Amino acid sequence: MSGILGFETTGRTEVMPDGREFDDGELLLDEDAHKRIRLGYQCGRCMEVFISPWPEQCRLCGFPVATVQRQYYEREFTGSRVLRANLTAEELADGEARLHEILQARRR
C-alpha cells in the first residue's frame, strides 16, 4: 500500500556529518502514493500511510507532517515520468527491501 515502485541511484554519494556515505537516489512512487502525500494521508519522508490526514507528526519517523510536508513535497517531489506499471511481486519486494535498508541506515 506504500506505493513504492522502486529506487534509482543517481550515481552520486551523500556524505552525512558523521562520515557515513549513502547512495543518492530517487524514490519511484505510483500516482496513488503521490496523491496520498499531497493530501496528507502518507508521510513524505518514510512513506507511512495514515488513516486521517495531516497528523501533527508521523508516528513512525516523527516527521512534522502538519507543518512541513506541503513545502517538503513541493521541494523533493518534482516532476514526473512514466514508469513500468507491470512490475513483478519480486521487483516490488526488492524495491521495498532496498528502501527499508536505506531508511534504517539513516536512523542510525
Distance CA 77, CA 59 (A): 22
pLDDT of 51 above 70: yes
Tell me what pLDDT residue 31 has: 85
Task: Tell me what percent of the residues of the chain surpass a pLDDT of 90.
Answer: 25
pLDDT of 80 above 60: no
Statement: the pTM of the whole predicted model exceeds 0.85: no
Q: Where are the beta strands (DSSP E) in the chain?
A: 4-15, 21-29
Distance CA 107, CA 56 (A): 20
Quickly count: other Cβ atoms within 10 Å of residue 19's Cβ. Answer: 6
Which of residues 3 and 108 earns the better pLDDT score? 3
Domains of the chain by residue range = 4-107
Tell me what pLDDT residue 78 has: 63
